[in-house]
Structure 1
Amino acid sequence: MKLNKFQTFAESLLPHEVILLDNVKQFQDRERADIFDVLYHKVCNKDGKRCFDPKIDKRKYSHLMHWMQSRLDGFCTDQFYERLNYFDIRIKTDTISSDEENELLKLIKQYRPHHFHFIRFYEVVKNYLMFLLVRVRLNDYELIHKFVHDYHDDYVRCKEVGNRMTQATVDIVTDYHNLKISPNSMKWISWLTRLWNDQNLDGYNRYQTLILLSYVALLKNDALEEVLAYYIELEPQLEDGSYYSKKLLFNYYGNKQLILMKLKQYDQALYYGRLSISEQGNDYIMYLNNYCFNLSKLGRSEEALSLLIKARPFARQMSNKYNRTLFISSLMKCYNDNGQYLNSKQYAENRLSMYEKDILEHNWNKFFRTYMETLAQLGEFLKVKKTIRRFNLIDRESQFLKNYVSFPYFKWLLALANHKEGNISEARFWNGIEREMERIRTTYQIEPSKRALSLMKKCIGKNG
């Protein structure tokens, strides 16, 4: 094995994976221990000065790599869930082998309460019990019957929680999509908080609880610190493997980045954001959008643009319309942040022709706000007016503002276009905007977008 193969594997590891491996390692060989020590410092402490020793037998690197992957696979909740589904199919089709039965029996004997996928595990064991009974196989009956009996109440409760979680998710995600918290979400907060503090809950439901509380916190700023504390509370379960899968870690890092960004802790958020985009999984574009927004907040718009451009082929293949339209808006904004307004315009119009229906259904506000900014920067005010009218953006905005407190930016952009065409004076333009700003400030105690005001002042300062 070439050493660069091990280097590549080491670079793919996440900090919590290495900490998990560190907790279970029992190296007798000094050189293997030294290799792992270098790896630990590279991944967890970002110590780029330490290098792997090329003099150590390459076979030890190979053995260590296979040991690490094997141990991680053994902890992985996703792989465990797939194995449970496999057992269930084999049981129901009467094709389970003796070796597979022994493996399942071993899992039952070694079961620790409140496993991440306890609900599915219980269902498989119960099906296995019926499998044995109808075949009058009573050798392992007592063990399996005891498990089904002992955990029956836990199973019923976890199933009930899961069923209620569905409605909670509908209410909270709907509010999150509408960018406004309502009584529909608020009514779930105390219940979700009790669930989070319940150590007897199965891991899957408990993690879903954290996700929903995160959505609430992103809409309700006074809950941010409390929810961030929950992320810290989860660390031991990530480090001992009870809440481990690579996909779960990416989700943990991505959500934690959002909480930290909302708290304006952008540098710390960037660390978790970087981890969340370590691999191009199903949610890669969502995590990348958030990470690039964070980069822009820190004045690193060139880096953000480079990452988004590289991700364009991946984004084109996406089936998730919401994330794809969000990606389009993010890339347009990054073009604008880098002064590449022509690129932004070309990309926007190309994507609008391809995905008009999707854009109007998902993230239309972000897309057209950014597109209008692009056209205004290019001085194309006639096109601003035509676009606003073609897509009925004033009426759309009016309906939007009935449910979400904000400023009528499209109305202002239309007024700006009318002023630039000489239809209204500069004084009338600013008087109308200032009256609306004052009314909304007084009523809702919010401030308009500095970016929008800066754009209008810049455009007013231009000739004609």
Structure 2
Amino acid sequence: MTVFNKFVQSLFPGEAVILSRYDGLVDVEKKLILQQVIEHAGNMNADFKSDPSIDKRKYSFIKDWCNQKLSTHDVDIRLSQLMKLEENILLDRIEPNQEKEFFHILKVLKPDDYNFVKYYEISRLFRHYLQIRFRRKETDLVVDFLEKYRYEYEVGRQLNDKIHQATKDILHYYSKKKDFNTEWTDMLSSIFFNESNDGATRILAWIRLVFIANSSNDYSFLKPHFELFEAKLADCTFYSRRIMANFYSQFLLFYANMHDFDKAVYYGKLSIKLKNNDYLYYSNNLVAVLLKNKKAAEGLEHLKYTSSLALDSTNFHNKLTHVSYYIRALTDIGKPSQADSRGFVFYNVHKKEIFHYRWHLFFTAWCRAMIFSGKFNNIIKLFRSYPRLIKDETDQIYNQGTFPILAFILEIALYKAGNHDISICKKNIAALHQRTNSTLSDDAIEMGKVALGKEWEACLPK
């Protein structure tokens, strides 16, 4: 039963919704097993208990039955089949059963199908294959499809180009820390909500909208988008395990932004049910929420589990995020010296790469560990080696109302190392507060209390 239990544990709640719509089983015991599977997939805290009195072959049947039903709707499986078909057409080895299935699909395919654009492009390719072989009947079928939906295909291509141009602008504004243009959100939203567009194009728009929300730290405008997306997963318009896992990961970010950390953790744990190329990214997002929710020990377990993935990852953004959270988690569980050592090693190995990615996250986590372990002179030495840290932080938080945590850490370190007295420390911290018109972050308050003790009250901005 180990194989069956693993299968049940791997299912998403959204897949349970899909399976619950089927009602074709006659056998009472099979129906009971399916009901248990659906209930367990919808509740991660429920333990699946098999009935030893039921024939194990019925459990195996239900597993295969569920996989078959879900595979029928999986847009990624269809895309994989299309890619194989394209290869076989190009290599002149298309099989009769592939032809038959493709022709059947063309007769019923609509422009709102998730993979419509790919179907259209393969149809253009297939037309050449058929024409030269005097396959007139089949050629007419393909040509009729191409002519019928030429306009919709051209619209799809134009939308793809518009999304590409918007992405260039969005990334440019993101790199310059400028406010995003609302025209982009309006345009991308119109693409996403338009039911006549193909699913792949709609999700391209969705991904950009989520990026804007995450970068601007405002998910409030995306509530109707999330509701529609969830509905489209349930009716299988957008369904695949890859897309569902990504959706749950985005739901984590949505609820974290709303400060509903329990729901964020719930969806984060759902997102890591699937191990794919984005697993490290999803796990990092979950750890971020666990750390915010004061569950560092649990977060550290996830970080340990993904350590080998982070080590081998070619995505330095994910690698840097992982080590930053690892440093923070170690500090939070009372091991700041270990955290400092991990930061020191990573820094010396990746000095050049750090500044091209989430350098502020890394240096904040590492310097925080040094504050907690009393390595004040090491902090000063680091900032003297890289005076640009303070300037870059100032540029990054300009007009964002964010407290300059690195500049704050340096002021604490300078005082604790004896470079200036408490009055200067207080004056400089107040200046940081006034210059950015921001409130002290929770991190700043915590570090102030740890490093300064009773003197911290004197440094609090009035």
Deviates more, 1:56-65 or 1:33-42: 56-65
Distance 2:134 2:327 in 1: 67
- Look up the match of 1:332: 327
- Look up the match of 2:409: 413
State the shift of 1:421 in Å: 2.5
Task: Give SS of 2:118's match.
Answer: helix
- Look up the match of 1:82: 80
Are 1:433 and 2:425 counterparts?
no
2:453 to 441, 456, 461: 461
Are 1:451 and 2:448 counterparts?
no
- Look up the match of 2:4: 6
Task: Give SS of 1:121's match.
Answer: helix
1:158 to 156, 159, 163: 156
- Look up the match of 1:195: 191
Contact map agreement 1:181 1:220 (CA 8 A) in 2: no
Distance 1:458 1:51 in 2: 48
Contact map agreement 1:388 1:410 (CA 8 A) in 2: no
- Look up the match of 2:102: 104
Distance 1:58 1:302 in 2: 39
Correspondence list, 1:1-400, <5 A: 3-46=1-44, 48=46, 51-176=49-174, 180-183=177-180, 185-220=181-216, 224-392=219-387, 393-400=389-396
Task: Give SS of 2:219's match.
Answer: helix
Contact map agreement 2:300 2:330 (CA 8 A) in 1: yes
Aligned positions, number = 454
TM-score by length of 1: 0.92
What one-letter code is carried by the residue in structure 2 that aligns with 1:142? D
What one-letter code is carried by the residue in structure 1 that aligns with 2:149? Y
State the shift of 1:391 in Å: 2.9
Contact map agreement 2:411 2:429 (CA 8 A) in 1: no
State the shift of 1:173 in Å: 4.0
Distance 2:359 2:435 in 1: 26
Structure 2 CA distance for partners of 1:347 and 1:132, relative to 1, 3 Å: same
State the shift of 1:152 in Å: 0.7
Distance 1:97 1:415 in 2: 72
Deviates more, 1:186-195 or 1:402-411: 402-411
Distance 1:7 1:264 in 2: 33
Contact map agreement 1:285 1:315 (CA 8 A) in 2: yes
Structure 2 CA distance for partners of 1:137 and 1:38, relative to 1, 3 Å: same
Structure 2 CA distance for partners of 1:47 and 1:349, relative to 1, 3 Å: closer
What one-letter code is carried by the residue in structure 1 that aligns with 2:434? E
State the shift of 1:41 in Å: 0.9
Distance 1:361 1:167 in 2: 23
For residues 12-69 of structure 1, give each alpha carbon's deviation from its aligned partner in whole angstroms, at most 9, with x where no partner exists: 1111122212223411222211110011111114473663222111111112212222
For residues 296-352 of structure 1, give each alpha carbon's deviation from its aligned partner in whole angstroms, at most 9, with x where no partner exists: 222222111121122211211111111110111011111111111011012111222
What one-letter code is carried by the residue in structure 2 that aligns with 1:132? L
State the Cα RMSD in Å: 2.1
What one-letter code is carried by the residue in structure 2 that aligns with 1:66? D
Contact map agreement 1:181 1:216 (CA 8 A) in 2: no
Distance 2:450 2:146 in 1: 70
Structure 2 CA distance for partners of 1:397 and 1:420, relative to 1, 3 Å: same
Distance 1:439 1:108 in 2: 63
What one-letter code is carried by the residue in structure 2 that aligns with 1:321? F
Contact map agreement 1:385 1:417 (CA 8 A) in 2: yes
Task: Structure 2: give runs of 5+ residues left out of the alignment.
Answer: 456-462
State the shift of 1:201 in Å: 0.7
Contact map agreement 1:415 1:429 (CA 8 A) in 2: yes
Contact map agreement 1:384 1:417 (CA 8 A) in 2: yes
For residues 58-103 of structure 1, give each alpha carbon's deviation from its aligned partner in whole angstroms, at most 9, with x where no partner exists: 1111122122222222322222112112111222222212222112
Contact map agreement 1:91 1:131 (CA 8 A) in 2: yes
Contact map agreement 1:18 1:40 (CA 8 A) in 2: yes
What one-letter code is carried by the residue in structure 2 that aligns with 1:21? L
State the shift of 1:403 in Å: 7.5
Structure 2 CA distance for partners of 1:57 and 1:11, relative to 1, 3 Å: same
Task: Give SS of 1:140's match.
Answer: helix
Distance 2:111 2:27 in 1: 34
State the shift of 1:116 in Å: 1.0
TM-score by length of 2: 0.92
Work out the percentage of aligned pairs sharing the same amino acid.
26
